[in-house]
Structures are given as structure tokens and as C-alpha cells.
Amino acid sequence: CAKALGKARYEVFNSKMHEGASLLLQLETALRHALLKQEEFRLYYQPIVSLLTGKISGFEALIRWHHPERGIISPQDFIPLAEETGMIVNIGQWVLYEACHQMQRWHKQFPSSTHLTISVNFSGKQIMQPDVFQQVEYVLQQTGLEPCSLKLEITESLLMDNFELATTMLSQLAALNVELHMDDFGTGYSSLSYLHQLPITTLKIDRSFVSSIGRRGENLEIVRAIVTLAHNLNMSVTAEGIETVEQVAQLKALQCDQGQGYFFLPPMESAAVEVLLAANLCYKNFLLV
């Protein structure tokens, strides 16, 4: 009886594993297809707000995959696979071109918006491409976007794989006059010593610290420490995942420079951004609290 049970268990396990593997394969095939057709990827744009002026200072480009049958697939569900298979390099090139092109169009369409910047997420595999510098330079040339309008968001994990190579690549990119921002700061496991060895201009405080600001006192202290660290190193700080007015008030009191989150606005399609830019929105009143 025990043996039969064991076998049944084994079969259930086995068929579940098989199901998982074939789902992954299906996803991979669909992703390759999407990459070839280039019609199913969309960029959404989330405003980044200056906590000093209450004005929108830029947007972060966030990819979505509009799958014909499955609907919108979030980046969390396909970026890891894209990284594993190397497809992220091509996807990333598409994202970079599309985001820079869009921002340049907005600069033309709304002449008072020329200060607006565009933040693009860059994965480790992309940075390690030997010609990443040429790729970025080419996109800037083709789209006409000024380098100082582009911010590349990187994560600590990319530094851990090969710090020396990462340092070389990042220095080349910084020499283009493009800014480098450290995303999800505080969640990685690397030592802090890299901070003054790399040309990073902004730390983005991870949402996990921001979301518990009102609830757990310790996290407020962590946020305070990150802001102080950044300012002492001549960097600016952006808080991600701001959802409440209380969080905005605390972050502003801590002199955090920029904020991003559902409290302001979620990631939006480009048409919605155009409505927003035409309205010339300002959050000054919220920031007086």
C-alpha cells in the first residue's frame, strides 16, 4: 500500500514537473515569437515626481507584454526567462530605442517639457555586451535625445557577477553623459564600497522599505540612513512604491529628492501621459503637509 502511494505521489510530482517545464517552453516559444513580430511589447510610463517642487521630473519606462490569448503579462513573469535565454539583449534594445524615441517626441510635442527625463531598466546581460556603449550612443543619435535626458537603472546583482567588467562598462556609459541609477537599493547583498567606485548619480530606495514607513519605525531609520549616505556621496535619492500621503510627508521630511508610486500615478500608456503633460500637473499641495 505504501509502495502504491509512493508511486502515485511520484507520478503526481512527475506530471506537475512536466507541466511546469512544458509551460515554460511554451512561454519561451511565445516570447521568441513576440520578439520577432515586435507588436506585442508595449512600454508603460510611470511619473517620477520632484518632492521639492511637486512637478513631474521624468518617467520610468516599464515593459508589458500583450499576449494575444493570455492578455497583459507582467515583466516579473517574463523578464527572468528573457534573461536566462539571452533574449533580454534584444528586448532591451527595443525598450531603449522605444523609450528614447518616445521621450524625444514628447520634448517636441510639449516644448515646456524638455527637462523631462526617461529612465530605462538595464539588465546585467545588457551591460556586459561588449558594444553596449555603441548601442546606447547609436540610439541617442538616431532618436536625437540628449544624453542627459536618459537614465539607465541598474541593480546590484550585475556588479556581483564581474565587478571589474561592470566598472569598465558603466564608466564608458557615464562618459556619454548618461546617468546611472541604482535600482532596488538596499535589497542586494554586495558591499557598499562599490558606491564611490562607480559613476552612480542616484539611489532608488526599494519599495519594501518605503511601504512600511508608517508601520515600522526601523524602516524609517533605514530610509533616513540611505538618504544621508546618498547625499554625503553627492547622489540624489528616489523613493519607489509610495502609496500614501503619510509616506510622502515622511520622505519629504527626510529630504528625499524624488518619489514614484501609486500615490502619484501608476505606470500609464503613452496616450494617458500626453493628457497628463498637457494638463501640466503639480503636486505642490500634497507636499505642504
Return the residues of window 251-270 that contact ligand C2E according to CB under 6 A: 260-262, 267
199 in contact with ligand C2E (CB under 6 A)? no
**Which among 66-74, 102-110, 113-121, 271-279 is the span making contact with Mg ion, rule CB under 5 A?**
113-121
The crossing angle, in degrees rounded to 10, of helices 88-109 and 75-85 is 130
By C-beta, is 30 or 124 nearer to Mg ion?
124
Total of chain residues touching ligand C2E, rule CB under 6 A: 24
Supply 278's cell numbers. Answer: 498637457
Report, in Å, the least distance between residue 102 CB and ligand C2E: 13
Report, in Å, the least distance between residue 56 CB and ligand C2E: 14
Contact (CB, 8 A) for 91 and 41:
yes
Strand boundaries in 139-269, DSSP class E: 150-154, 179-185, 200-205, 236-239, 258-259
Cα(222)–Cα(217) distance, rounded to whole angstroms?
A: 9
- The residue whose Cβ lies closest to ligand C2E is 261
123 in contact with ligand C2E (CB under 6 A)? yes
The crossing angle, in degrees rounded to 10, of helices 88-109 and 2-37 is 40
* Contact partner, 79, from Mg ion, ligand C2E, none, Cβ < 5-8 Å per class: ligand C2E
Binding mask 214-233 for ligand C2E (x = CB under 6 A): --------------------
Binding mask 189-228 for Mg ion (x = CB under 5 A): ----------------------------------------
Report, in Å, the least distance between residue 113 CB and ligand C2E: 21
Report, in Å, the least distance between residue 238 CB and ligand C2E: 10
Contact (CB, 8 A) for 239 and 205:
yes
Choosing from 27, 49, 62, 256, the residue that interacts with ligand C2E (CB under 6 A) is 62
Choosing from 48, 49, 73, 95, the residue that interacts with ligand C2E (CB under 6 A) is 95
Nearest by Cα to 186 from 229, 145, 217, 146: 229
Residue 161, sorted as left (phi over 0), alpha (psi -120 to 50) or beta, turns out to be: alpha
By C-beta, is 50 or 202 nearer to Mg ion?
202
3-class secondary-structure state, position 69: coil
Cβ neighbours of residue 272 under 8 Å, at least 6 residues apart? none
Cα(206)–Cα(159) distance, rounded to whole angstroms?
A: 17
Question: What is the contact surface with ligand C2E in residues (CB under 6 A)?
Answer: 46, 62-63, 74-76, 79, 88, 92, 95, 121, 123, 153, 183-184, 207, 240-243, 260-262, 267
